[in-house]
Amino acid sequence: MIDRIVRSSPTRRVIELAVGLSRRGATLSADPTFDYIEIDVPHVIAHKRRLLERSAAGRVVLARPNLQLVAGDVLVDALPARTPAVVVAEGLAMYLAGDARRALFARVRALGDVELVFDLTPASDEPPPGAIGRALERAMKRFTGGQAFERDARTRDDVVAELGAAGFADARAIAARDVARDWQLPFADRATPVVIFVARATRS
């Protein structure tokens, strides 16, 4: 879903926050019209570099002038002020408490001309946790010293309102279950609670 939003954007610059080991940047930067900036915390960026350096194909990716790997904390360090851009945050928002999530929206909004896309399944879209879900949550709390997935994003409208309050326009939620066939998503027949949010901002 995020790939589709990125590919359909009129801008070819992508700033991917909390990129982890995602291959999206390596894939899209094969097209030289893309300018791709990946950000994650230093040890993850160092690890990703090491992995890419291990193969000839990885070294080709690392040598691309249109792919930049940046070490930084997206909640603290200055974000690259290179716009217009699509800003992607996959697999991040569900770990942020409400204050941190709203602060991140404001930081991205402050960049100016951006389209933000991220995944976050609001509590109202989640099926009630079964026995396995409750056990996983207990295990996660034990390993993280108490932190579980954030559940303070209660509804899609709550998140859309937060994006509006941060100064984004046209904020909308797109649920996988509503577009799975039209967008030819993999495993379109499987029920999934995945929701992505897309919002635009212009330079103010």
Q: Which residue is nearest to ligand SAM (CB)?
A: 20
Nearest in space to 92 (alpha carbons), one of 200, 184, 16, 5: 16
Report phi then psi at 136, rounded to 5.
-65, -40
What does the DSSP 8-state code read for residue 129? P
Site for ligand SAM in 118-177 (CB under 6 A): none
Q: Which of 31, 47, 50, 73 forms a contact with ligand SAM (CB under 6 A)? A: 73
- Count of beta carbons in the 10 Å neighbourhood of residue 20: 15
Beta strand extents in 20-163 (DSSP E only): 35-40, 67-71, 85-89, 114-119
68 in contact with ligand SAM (CB under 6 A): no
25 versus 122: smaller Cβ distance to ligand SAM: 25
Find the binder of ligand SAM among 12, 29, 52, 90 (CB under 6 A).
90
- Residue 5 as a binder of ligand SAM (CB under 6 A): the answer is no
- C-alpha span between 41 and 192 (Å, rounded): 29
Q: In this chain, which stretch among 50-58, 87-95, 135-143, 184-192 interacts with ligand SAM, using CB under 6 A?
A: 87-95
Residues that bind ligand SAM (CB under 6 A): 18-20, 22, 40-41, 44, 73-75, 90-92
